[in-house]
Amino acid sequence: FVLYLNKQSSAFFLSPPRIKDEPDEDGYYASPKEDSKPLKRPREEDDDEYKPKKIKTEDTKKSKKRKQEEEEVKCETKRAPEGDNKKKKQKKEEEQKWKWWEEERHPEGIKWKFLEHKGPVFAPPYEPLPENVKFYYDGKVMKLSPKAEEVATFFAKMLDHEYTTKDIFRKNFFKDWRKEMTSEEKSTITNLSKCDFTQMSQYFKAQTEARKQMSKEEKQKIKEENERLVKEYGFCVMDNHKERIANFKIEPPGLFRGRGNHPKMGMLKRRIMPEDIIINCSKDSKVPPPPPGHKWKEVRHDNKVTWLVSWTENIQGSIKYIMLNPSSRIKGEKDWQKYETARRLKKCVDKIRNQYREDWKSKEMKVRQRAVALYFIDKLALRAGNEKEEGETADTVGCCSLRVEHINLHPELDGQEYMVEFDFLGKDSIRYYNKVPVEKRVFKNLQLFMENKQPEDDLFDRLNTSILNKHLQDLMEGLTAKVFRTYNASITLQQQLKELTTPDDNIPAKILSYNRANRAVAILCNHQRAPPKTFEKSMMNLQTKIDAKKDQLADARRELKSAKADAKVRRDEKSKKTVESKKKAVQRIEEQLMKLEVQATDREENKQIALSTSKLNYLDPRISVAW
């Protein structure tokens, strides 16, 4: 079953249950028996460590003992006298007793004690085009300076992409390209439309093709070379453990590809040099040397953060980081904490729901807006919706940043009362479109919030994420808007799995059920994907197969019928046997048909839905394991 889960969540299967991982009163996270044993994480300094194949289980006695100890800690906490400060202090002490596999936990805020790494891998230097690949301006051959040529190749490589037809993209690109030109080039090249990149484009296409056509040995060689690079730079040592680094390669230069309608699309992402790089490692480690003839921007020793390398990117001026792989302790632990917070929310979510329902009646506008927004976040799993700088990014919104133009109120629609129609672009400019019936009070409140406002005005003008999260913090320690998404995603999976699966289903049916449960979550979270380019065709192929199977089935049935009739007349062993084999054939074909139909359903339902994001980030893996 582990195969159905993304490998990147694998840290979970290896993490010892530090507090009781037992089902609560509703059977939430009911674990199989084996699950209660602590699982040992192989810690040899092994090249394969990041994808451990064997999971050793610790001996049961020891685990029982540990469990008892943890239980005692818990009980003590429970018996502890009330009083916030004391409670908090005790909680901190309790936290300090937790272990990440027989290890001391760091004091709060400290992320590591020792960190050593080899530094980043820089993008390969630019290789000038061969002489025979020409660039034409206004129909005439033109030899570009290396710098201008490099930037031109970025554009040429994207020529087939829709991006290069967009006005903003072209404008931004041309502006930044001109900055890289010599004054001579600048005076000649004044119009992008007169630039002919086709030879460059063809050259790169030929290269891609050649790469595809390479022999097995050559491909193997490249693969080995990559593996060597990973071996050398892809790992670091953090607190006695060798850990895999997620992105040890510095992003190569290129043209910025924003998502959606991004005002900066096409701008030049400049090459990152060692002089841009900040190295973070521990004082007592071997500091990675900068490339010969270069210097780092800075070397620091900050153990309150998890990153190894950072630099400032030139498009938005934001900081980029090199951090560890999801299989690392530091990421896995954080991930686990996230799901534990979601589990804590489960315990008080009813109270919170009652509270926000009460708040819909509040005399204070601010409180009402907060309550309605929270209702949306809870019911529809919307994102928080931080403010963003206007004109710097694509125009997308979340809950708190919804504008009047993003919703439509229908007192009645499709035979239902109090319908709200949402239509806005969310993260990554993915459209959120949904029609939902809401409670009358919510509907009336929305009417109130929209009164005397322009379409481009904020729906929740007295609210932002910081106000909302401060309120949530008061309701439960560690509660923020995003916790609702995690909680509702995981609980939906659990409920759907329970509802959709029957123990005696066959395997394809169970897979379909699991995918359907996963799909319910993906729909809730609005995780979409572009339908595969060959979707229609592949669907048609499948349908042809199904039709053929159906014909085959009809034939087989007919044959069975005639065999039966035959057997009735002849009454001999041979004809009886024929009937039996024909029967089996019908059965087999029926099964095959069923399998195909299940496949078709699964694929059709999955056309525009991406299951991976929820699997990776929202579904507590323990639910899947338990199922």
Partner DNA sequence: CAGCGCACTTAGGAGGTTCTCA
Partner DNA sequence: TGAGAACCTCCTAAGTGCGCTG
Q: DSSP label at 558?
A: H
Among 243, 426, 438, 490, binds DNA (CB under 7 A): 426
| Minimum distance from residue 264 beta carbon to DNA (Å) | 8
Site for DNA, residues 306 to 365, rule: CB under 7 A: 306-307, 310, 313, 315-316, 318-319, 321, 323, 331, 334-335, 338
DSSP category for residue 291: S
Nearest-5° angle of CA 268, CA 269, CA 272?
140
- Asked if 9 interacts with DNA (CB under 7 A), we say no
Smallest distance from DNA to CB 398, Å: 3
Cβ distance to DNA smaller for residue 207 or 447:
207
When asked if residue 613 is in the footprint of DNA (CB under 7 A), the reply is yes
Does residue 207 belong to the site contacting DNA (CB under 7 A)?
no
Does 622 contact DNA by CB under 7 A? no
The beta-strand segments (E) located in 263-415 are 268-269, 278-280, 298-300, 309-312, 319-322, 407-413
How many angstroms separate the CA atoms of 270 and 251, rounded? Answer: 10
Q: Does 528 bind DNA (CB under 7 A)?
A: yes
Asked if 510 touches DNA (CB under 7 A), the answer is: no
Binding to DNA (CB under 7 A) within 152-181 occurs at 161
Nearer to DNA, 170 or 607 (CB): 607
Looking at the Cβ atoms of 323 and 567, the one nearer to DNA is 323
Among 190, 466, 562, 587, binds DNA (CB under 7 A): 466
Distance in Å, CB of 186 to DNA, minimum: 26
What tokens were used for 48?
């394969």
- Per the listing, tokens 């979550």 go with 521
Q: Which residues of 454-491 are buried (b: 16+ CB within 10 A; e: fewer)?
A: eeeebbbeebbbebbbebbeeebeebebbbbbbbbbbb
Give, as ranges, the residues between 246 and 265 that touch DNA (CB under 7 A).
Answer: 246-247, 249, 251-252, 254, 256-260, 262
CB atoms within 10 A of CB 25: 5
Instruction: Specify the residue, 68 or 534, whose C-beta has the smaller distance to DNA.
Output: 534
Under the binding rule (CB under 7 A), the answer on residue 443 touching DNA is no
Q: Catalytic residue at 618?
A: yes
Distance CA(616)–CA(527), nearest Å, equals 12
Q: Does 398 bind DNA (CB under 7 A)?
A: yes
Min separation Cβ 296 and DNA, Å = 15
Stretch that binds DNA, among 167-175, 496-504, 523-531, 552-560 (CB under 7 A): 523-531
Among 465, 488, 490, 624, binds DNA (CB under 7 A): 465
Q: CB of residue 152 vs DNA: minimum separation in angstroms? A: 18
Q: What is the largest CA-CA distance in the chain?
A: 99
Residue 497 CB neighbour total at 10 angstroms: 20
Q: CB under 7 A: which stretch of 145-153, 348-356, 421-429, 579-587 binds DNA?
A: 421-429
Minimum distance, C-beta of residue 223 to DNA, in the bound complex (Å): 6
Smallest separation (angstroms) from DNA to the CB of 545: 6
- Residue 205 contacts DNA per CB under 7 A: no
Strands, E assignment, 476-611: none
Q: Is position 430 an interface residue for DNA (rule: CB under 7 A)?
A: yes
CB 153, min distance to DNA, A = 14
Q: Return the structure tokens found at 543.
A: 């349908």
Least distance to DNA, CB of residue 190, Å: 28
**DSSP state letter for 129:** P
Pick the closer one to DNA by CB: 238 or 419.
238
Dihedral pair phi/psi, residue 99, rounded to 5°: -130, 145
- 568 contact partners, CB below 8 Å, separation of at least 6: none
Q: Which of residues 74-113 bind DNA (CB under 7 A)?
A: 111
Instruction: State which of residues 245, 525, 586, 589 lies at the interface with DNA (CB under 7 A).
Output: 525
From candidates 168, 299, 305, 553, binder to DNA by CB under 7 A: 305
- Contact between 274 and 295 under an 8 Å Cβ cutoff? The reply is yes
Residues numbered 470 to 489 that lie near DNA (CB under 7 A) are 473, 480-483, 485-486
Nearest to 449 by CA among 395, 516, 344, 370: 370
Find the part of the chain contacting DNA (CB under 7 A) among 352-360, 449-457, 531-539, 583-591.
531-539
**Which strand (E) or helix (H) includes residue 136?**
strand 135-137
Opening angle at CA 3, ends 428 and 341, nearest 5: 55
Nearest approach, Cβ of 466 to DNA (angstroms)? 7
- CA gap 627, 625 in Å, rounded: 5
> Which residue in 396, 488, 492, 513 binds DNA (CB under 7 A)?
396
Give yes or no for residue 530 binding DNA (CB under 7 A): yes
Under rule CB under 7 A, residue 529 binds DNA: yes
CA angle at 52 for the pair 47 and 55, rounded to the nearest 5°: 140
Nearest to 435 by CA among 422, 450, 417, 418: 422
Separation between Cα atoms, residue 537 and residue 531, nearest integer Å: 12
CA distance linking residue 117 with residue 233, whole number of Å: 8
Contacting DNA within 365-394 (CB under 7 A):
383-386, 388-389, 393-394
Residue-wise over 234-247: b if at least 16 C-beta within 10 A, else e?
bbbbbbebbbbbbb
Site for DNA in 544-563 (CB under 7 A): 545
DSSP assignment, residue 271?
A: P
Calpha distance 396→259 (Å, rounded): 10
Residues 567-606, mask of contacts with DNA (x by CB under 7 A): --------------------------------x---x---
Q: Cite the active site residues.
A: 618
